Structure 1
């Protein structure tokens, strides 16, 4: 197992894993699959202080995580949003925990002091994962997301590092 900075060559697999999560309506508010081309701008917008990481097993990407700006004003530069997505064939194997632990360890070197995770309130596995690593409930945005089949609440979890 290795965790590396994502490269352009990883974008197809990152997009595939992301699209798997669209279908579950458990981890993203996108409602239809996205293309690699449509993810290019998102990929390019990440930087040395807001990187994308991939976790590889036997040279194959099985999970990815990213830090993103929480808000585009400089006073918020100490805060980042974290996202973690795991391939459907690698879920419940500890992969998400390994990637989250790595990202928590590296966050201070990126100038990050507070990490926020925005999680659907019905996504119990993700809530459990972040609770395990000491994230607390920072807030709840009730009924803010129309998932077409239901209206979802968004839980804001946070941790100071």
Structure 2
């Protein structure tokens, strides 16, 4: 039996991958568990975000499972001030047909390896408090609660809490 890690490839996302990235992102909107967007976005909506990534310090990776695109993971600048340069925000989205295969776990571990090699010291993930699957994934990988922001989002007239999970990355 193959190890799942052997079946997963991470590649720097290309502009031609952006429609797939947007498709996967849009799949999560209706659940009201993953993103604060309330209606689908377009490729054009994400161009500036896409261009803010770079392979050297803030990657956006397309995830392939058995050579088929299955999701994406990115590191983004946290807060935009120089003092936070060694802290990043992690975003992870898996296509609905590929969830439950431990792809997310492998993706987070790969990003942590990248962080160690690139002098990133802290990884943060912003997760709605009611998104227990994502919270469980990050806690399983050693992330702990760095913050809890009560009632700061409203989705379909329901106030939602945001939890910040973080992990110190050591060499």
Give the TM-score range, shorter chain.
over 0.9
Moved over 4 A (4+): none
SS at match of 1:30: coil
Which residue pairs with 1:109 in the alignment?
A: 117
Instruction: Spell out, residue by residue over 1:112-153, the C-alpha distance to the aligned partner (whole angstroms, 9 max, x if none).
Output: 100011100000000000001100011100000011241110
When the two chains are superposed, the root-mean-square deviation of aligned CA atoms in Å is 1.0
CA-CA distance at 1:101 after TM superposition: 0.9
1:55 maps to which of 63, 67, 92: 63
Question: What's the TM-score, normalizing by structure 2?
Answer: 0.91
Which residue pairs with 1:160 in the alignment?
A: 168
Structure 2 residues not aligned, in runs of 5+: 1-7
Question: What's the TM-score, normalizing by structure 1?
Answer: 0.96
CA-CA distance at 1:111 after TM superposition: 2.4
SS at match of 2:96: coil
2:48 maps to which of 41, 44, 50: 41
Which residue pairs with 1:133 in the alignment?
A: 141
Query: In 1, Cα distance between the equivalents of 2:90 and 2:24?
Result: 16
| Alignment size in residue pairs | 161
CA-CA distance at 1:110 after TM superposition: 2.6
Asked if 1:22 is matched to 2:29, the reply is: yes
